[in-house]
Amino acid sequence: MKTSLCLGLLVLFLAVTVSCSTEEPPDERGTRFAPSEIIDLGVLVTEDLPERVWGKAKLAQLGFTEANTFDVLPWTAGDISGSNAYYTLFNHGGPHVDAPNHYDLGGGLDSFPVEAFSGPVKVFDARSYPPGPSVPAELFRRDVEAGDIVLIVTGYVPPVTDDALPQFKTLMDDAAEFLATLPVRAYGTDGFSVGSMDETVTSGAHYSFLSRTIPVYEQLFNVDRLLGKENMFFVGVPLNINEGDGMIVRPVVFVY
């Protein structure tokens, strides 16, 4: 009887030991979901950011005369002190997202579901194309799927003199229509704008995307750092401003 009991306990011990040794180690602090790299597509927001990206001439041409302002208000309460602030921001100066009402094509930022601002991202090199609407649909046809977020690298250089206007590359109309009708989840560029200065109310990249409630991102930074990478996830959620026609964002890309 004692021998049988001992053998039974030994078998149970061995079974438990083998079971524990074959289990996966616990997932500590979410390391299973940690990216290998996080790339920041935003920029430091300063008072002169609109001027640095647009140039003085373009701002003056369109009548945008105010800089960003940071009105810091110190306070004290008994033995503690601190500050609050009012921020006045030009919402299209620097990395930002456009809403349909930016072109009178629908609702504001609050009309988008939060899912519209994140997803798998694919990046394309458009630096070899000339300024203007020159980037063709052929650049994307073989590699883009519905639901992708598409970004292009144009190598945009802001104006360097006070009287210079932005020079930048954009999609040809057929390219914008191809991406918008797949449809992609969002589209973005490191260029000054997704559309050329001669697009009309019913044509051009802004119309193709915004009329279909597809958010567009402009004036992104560091997009060239994404070239050659795979398995990337973009997150660029703006403040949910009531009827906002656009807002500065700090997008990031997680590389896996």
pLDDT, tens digit (0-9, with 9 covering 90-100), for 235-249: 999 999 999 999 999
Answer yes or no: is pLDDT of 14 > 60. Answer: no
Query: Is the preceding peptide bond at 183 cis, omega within 30 degrees of 0?
Result: yes
Least confident of 23-37, 58-72, 96-110, 175-189: 23-37
Residue 15: the pLDDT is 46
Residue 30: the pLDDT is 58
Read off the pLDDT band of 198 (50, 70, 90). confident
Q: Are 238 and 117 in contact (CB under 8 A)?
A: yes
Residue 251: the pLDDT is 98
Domain assignment of residue 234, yes or no: yes
How many domains does the chain fold into?
1
Read off the pLDDT band of 137 (50, 70, 90). very high
Kindly report, residue by residue over 30-73, the tens digit of the pLDDT: 567 899 999 999 999 999 999 999 999 999 999 999 999 999 99
| Mean pLDDT across the chain | 91
CATH of the domain at 239: 3.50.30.50
Read off the pLDDT band of 11 (50, 70, 90). very low
Token pair for 34:
């940690």
CA-to-CA distance for 125 and 226, rounded, in angstroms?
10
Answer yes or no: is pLDDT of 109 > 90. Answer: yes
Residue 18: the pLDDT is 43
Residue 235: the pLDDT is 98
Least confident of 5-9, 113-117, 177-181: 5-9
Domain assignment of residue 122, yes or no: yes
Residue 244 belongs to domain spanning: 39-43+92-255
Kindly report, residue by residue over 66-88, the tens digit of the pLDDT: 999 999 999 999 999 999 999 99
Domain assignment of residue 30, yes or no: no
Cβ–Cβ contacts within 10 Å for residue 114, how many? 9
Q: How far is CA 32 from CA 27, 117, 121, 220, 229, in A?
A: 6, 23, 20, 29, 20
Answer yes or no: is pLDDT of 26 > 90. Answer: no
Q: Are 172 and 135 in contact (CB under 8 A)?
A: yes
CA-to-CA distance for 200 and 221, rounded, in angstroms?
27
Answer yes or no: is pLDDT of 94 > 60. Answer: yes
The overall pTM is greater than 0.85? yes
Residue 21: the pLDDT is 45
Answer yes or no: is pLDDT of 1 > 60. Answer: no
Is residue 133 classed exposed, middle or buried when 0-12, 13-18 and 19+ CB atoms within 10 A define those classes? buried
Residue 77: the pLDDT is 97
Query: Mean pLDDT across the stretch 120-127?
Result: 98
Query: Mean pLDDT across the stretch 18-33?
Result: 56
Domain assignment of residue 152, yes or no: yes
Residue 230: the pLDDT is 93
Domain assignment of residue 110, yes or no: yes
